[in-house]
Amino acid sequence: MKRREFIILGGIGATSASVLSACGHPEEKLIPAFIPDDQYVPGIDYWKASTCGMCPAGCGIIVRTREHKANKIEGNPLHPVNRGALCARGQAGLEVLYNPDRIKGPMKRVGERGEGKWEQITWGEAIKTLADKLREIKSQGIASNIVFATLSLRGVLGIAVNFLNSALDAKFLPTQESTSREVARGYPHSYGGEATPIFDIANASYLLSFGARFLETWHSPVMYSLAFGEFRRSSGKARGKFVQLEPRMSLTGANADEWLPAIVGSEGLIALAIAQVIIREKLIEDAAAFESQIGPLDQYAPEQTTTLTGITAETIVRIAREFAGSERPLAIGPGAGSSRELGEINDAAIHFLNALSRNINKPGGVLLPASERFEVFDALPLAEVGGTGWWESINELSVRINKAGPVEFPALLVHQINPVLVAPRSIEWIMGLPFIASFSSFMDETTRLADLVMPDQTDLEGWDLRSMLMAGSNAAVSLVQPVVEPQHNTMQTADVLLAVCRDLKFKEADSEAYQSAEAMVKHAGQKLKFSHPGTDAEEQPLKRFLEAGVWVGSVPGKADVFESQLLDSSALLTERETNDSYPLTLLSYEHAALGSGDAANLPALQELPDPLTSVMWGSWVEINPKTAASLGVNDGDLVEVATEHGSVRAPAVLFPAIRPEVIAMPSSQGHTAYGRYANGRGPNVAVLNPFGMPGQSIGAKVTKIGGKSRLIRFGTELQERMEKRR
């Protein structure tokens, strides 16, 4: 333990002239608290603008710092996405920065894979080790089989990966693993292009949601929560009506005027039944034109599909009339399903209702970006060098390998995702890989298997730009910049890859604009133009951008008129197969605070009670009371949930707002290697559906078993004491 000496001022005397150092950073010494440096004044708060990295929504944040320590995160009022608001997950970002379980520096494996024996190394050695391995793979002519698993290849990381592709004269197999199924895949069929539309909930008069949990996890919860508040505000306009269809009541559904318990995966069928009523009753103008365009929808009539949807024909007819008769109707939803294909069909069917109501680019409807693509880094030379196309997700890759047999993958590079957790079957081929490098900040289940660990910096320590298309011709660029100095011996992954490129003699990486992530951000940010007085000076636009944290402007382009494409939806009419061995339907869903497990190592979010069950610090199984009674299960009993792929155990929670044939579990726990706050908090739901994602259903059964159930609820005597779990 280091000797701590200090100075006592005020006439008493001084015991020593030494200083107290924290983490080796000179800016955190005690002396500057009395002798200010040129960056801060002691006792004064400094607010620094950046972008939240806790989910893909991209909310703007401002971080309060004092003496080079970040101590509070709030929403940036200048940011168009969240307008100063921020969710609990965003406010917990400081627990990522200061988490005691962060990896402190680069390491290499010295024991057997997965044994947990590591040796600390320098960054120079780590970069050389990775460069040498990639050089060896290139010489073998198999560099195109390198798998780069990440959440996103946009921004500075995408440029660095493209550079590395060019340096290796290959293209990696990138996998983009969405942590939530609640992003619709049917948008290109419904609205054209790849840009995500904006749903103008605030100005809608009738909101019909097919399982879109926009107050929790869907798209941008903060943005849509603010819009929902305006939707509910009655001053100056009639109060809108909100109808939610879903098999299990979510927090969003609990805020609806009407909640309808639809059968799992029937969302698209209900949408087509509503469309059929609207067309046959001529509730809209030119209904015959729509029927001639897409063909008759008689087979989807509510009178014929009630048994498949669980909603009575009378109810669907009423909803159809209300929807078509409202001034500004809007339909939203991710579309569920037992497969990706069915989910896509559901998506397209749901959004066909918007085409039917002609609400595209109208207030209260679907607002489309005018441009197909906008990327601020396009302003840099060579930003598109190499080019990388998307490939399968880790789940899909595992399915391919499972069917076709082993594939010769020379290396796996992992960044910001945990394949072993989200796709448990992937461990079968990951364990056999010759080389694994992880850029994780934490020792998670996949990083534990790595040969080389190069810990990334957090979003509060690194640099990036996030380009966003807004409604119409508007676009935004959101800044990620350090609010404090790096807390440990970490390095931003983009900088690591650029250094590897230089080691591989890729000359473009020597360019001034590509020396680092910071250089790329500042060079691109310099191109942004602000329409305010005083921007004539060359440095002023960049200074303004760094202070505001966001740029909002217009981009060229004009949205084309797009005819909605209704996919072949006949598969929706297929009667769901029943299996006596697995008579129930398991529905996994993304936890509102913990996500799909990526935030499970943050104690503030573990401590946050689930709003509908009040459960915290663990997993649970939601069961309808009637179903539970037939199984002899009481609230809090320990039960086993089994599917054809595996089984897990968790306490039961009697949940009246769920269909009797459905059980539900949050996919947020199940870690065995993610730090003291996450480990041992319940089962990994992905074990039950290893090739699925949250929102995809599967047949299951529930059995009551003996043993003690560990169910922690807010307001009960059973509390979690962290000091006993270290």
Spatial CB neighbours of 270, under 8 Å, sequence gap ≥ 6: 210, 245, 262, 305, 309, 311, 316
Question: What pLDDT, on the 0 to 100 scale, is given for residue 21?
Answer: 32
Q: Is 599 in the same domain as 701?
A: yes
Q: Is 164 in the same domain as 219?
A: no
Q: Which of 51-65, 84-98, 246-260, 557-571 has the lowest mean pLDDT?
A: 557-571
Q: Decide if 106 is inside a domain.
A: no
The torsion region of residue 300 among left (phi > 0), alpha (psi -120 to 50) and beta comes to alpha
Spatial CB neighbours of 571, under 8 Å, sequence gap ≥ 6: 341, 342, 345
pLDDT digits (tens, 9 = 90+) for 692-703: 666 678 999 999
Question: What pLDDT, on the 0 to 100 scale, is given for residue 241?
Answer: 95
The C-alpha atoms of residue 624 and residue 646 are separated, in whole angstroms, by 22
Confidence band for 586, pLDDT divided at 50, 70 and 90? very high
Q: Please give the radius of gyration of the chain, using alpha carbons only, rounded to the nearest integer.
A: 27
φ/ψ (deg, to 5) at 77: -65, -15
How is residue 19 written in tokens? 């200083």
pLDDT of 17 > 70? The answer is: no
How is residue 473 written in tokens? 């011709």
pLDDT (average), residues 555-584: 73
On whether the CB atoms of residues 71 and 236 are closer than 8 A, the answer is no
Confidence band for 178, pLDDT divided at 50, 70 and 90? low
Q: Is 435 in the same domain as 503?
A: yes
Q: Decide if 679 is inside a domain.
A: yes
- Give the residue, 658 or 12, on which the prediction is more confident: 658
Q: Decide if 585 is inside a domain.
A: yes
User: In angstroms, how far is CA 125 from the centroid of its own chain?
Assistant: 33
Spatial CB neighbours of 117, under 8 Å, sequence gap ≥ 6: 109, 110, 111
Q: Decide if 332 is inside a domain.
A: yes
On whether the CB atoms of residues 370 and 557 are closer than 8 A, the answer is yes
Nearest to 385 by CA among 496, 492, 509, 495: 509
Question: What pLDDT, on the 0 to 100 scale, is given for residue 562?
Answer: 56
Q: Is 165 in the same domain as 264?
A: no
Q: Is 345 in the same domain as 376?
A: no
End-to-end CA distance of the chain: 20
Q: Is the dihedral of CA 241, 246, 248, 251 positive or negative?
A: negative
Domain CATH number, residue 649:
2.40.40.20
How many alpha carbons fall within 13 Å on the CB side of residue 343? Answer: 21
Question: What pLDDT, on the 0 to 100 scale, is given for residue 25?
Answer: 45
pLDDT (average), residues 147-151: 88
Q: Which stretches of 64-186 are DSSP H helices? A: 88-91, 94-97, 123-139, 155-167
pLDDT (average), residues 371-396: 71
How is residue 495 written in tokens? 């900088």
Question: What pLDDT, on the 0 to 100 scale, is given for residue 34?
Answer: 56
On whether the CB atoms of residues 205 and 233 are closer than 8 A, the answer is no
Q: Where are the beta strands (DSSP E) in 659-718?
A: 662-666, 697-704
User: In angstroms, how far is CA 706 from the centroid of its own chain?
Assistant: 37
User: In angstroms, how far is CA 14 from the centroid of its own chain?
Assistant: 52
Nearest to 440 by CA among 462, 415, 420, 459: 415
Question: For the chain, what is the domain count?
Answer: 3
pLDDT of 538 > 50? The answer is: no
pLDDT > 90: percent of the chain:
61
pLDDT of 104 > 50? The answer is: yes
pLDDT digits (tens, 9 = 90+) for 480-524: 999 999 999 999 999 999 999 999 999 988 999 999 999 999 999
Q: Decide if 377 is inside a domain.
A: yes
On whether the CB atoms of residues 200 and 364 are closer than 8 A, the answer is yes
Q: Is 346 in the same domain as 382?
A: no
Q: Is 238 in the same domain as 354?
A: yes
Q: C-alpha angle with apex 444: 439 to 446, nearest 5 degrees?
A: 70
- Helices 313-325 and 302-309, interaxial angle, to 10°? 110
The C-alpha atoms of residue 185 and residue 171 are separated, in whole angstroms, by 25
Nearest to 4 by CA among 25, 30, 28, 26: 30
Structural element, H or E, at residue 65: strand 60-66
Question: What pLDDT, on the 0 to 100 scale, is given for residue 568?
Answer: 72
The C-alpha atoms of residue 135 and residue 127 are separated, in whole angstroms, by 12
Q: Is 419 in the same domain as 503?
A: yes
Q: Is 439 in the same domain as 299?
A: no
Domain CATH number, residue 312:
3.40.228.10
pLDDT of 335 > 90? The answer is: no
Number of C-beta neighbours around residue 34 at 10 A: 9
SS3 of 190-252 = HHCCCCCCEECHHHCCEEEEECCCCCCCCCCHHHHHHHHHHHHCCCCCCCCEEEEECCECCHH
pLDDT digits (tens, 9 = 90+) for 425-436: 888 889 989 999
Q: Which of 115-124, 423-432, 527-536, 632-641 has the lowest mean pLDDT?
A: 527-536
Domain CATH number, residue 146:
3.40.50.740
Question: What pLDDT, on the 0 to 100 scale, is given for residue 32?
Answer: 52
Q: Last residue of a domain, which of 319, 344, 367?
A: 367
Q: Decide if 77 is inside a domain.
A: no
Q: Is 253 in the same domain as 171?
A: no
How is residue 724 written in tokens? 């006993």
Burial class of residue 687 (count of CB atoms within 10 Å of its CB; 0-12, 13-18, 19+): middle
Q: Last residue of a domain, which of 349, 367, 385?
A: 367
On whether the CB atoms of residues 608 and 600 are closer than 8 A, the answer is no
| Average confidence score pLDDT of the chain | 85
Q: C-alpha angle with apex 581: 576 to 587, nearest 5 degrees?
A: 55
pLDDT of 59 > 50? The answer is: yes
pTM listed for this prediction: 0.89
The C-alpha atoms of residue 312 and residue 683 are separated, in whole angstroms, by 37
Number of C-beta neighbours around residue 556 at 10 A: 8
pLDDT (average), residues 603-621: 95
Report DSSP state, residue 173: E
Q: Decide if 170 is inside a domain.
A: yes
Q: Decide if 98 is inside a domain.
A: no
Name the residue range of residue 390's domain.
Answer: 121-197+371-456+491-513
Q: Last residue of a domain, which of 367, 387, 416?
A: 367
Q: What is the DSSP string of 357-379?
A: HT-BTSTTSEEPBSSS---GGGG
Q: Is 245 in the same domain as 274?
A: yes
Q: For the CA atoms of 422, 215, 651, 693, what is the dihedral angle to 10 degrees?
A: -20
Q: In the chain, what are the helix, strand and coil shares in percent, each to the nearest 5?
A: 30, 20, 50
- Give the residue, 67 or 647, on which the prediction is more confident: 647
Q: Where are the beta strands (DSSP E) in 257-319?
A: 258-260
Q: Is 126 in the same domain as 173?
A: yes
pLDDT (average), residues 193-199: 81
Report DSSP state, residue 413: E
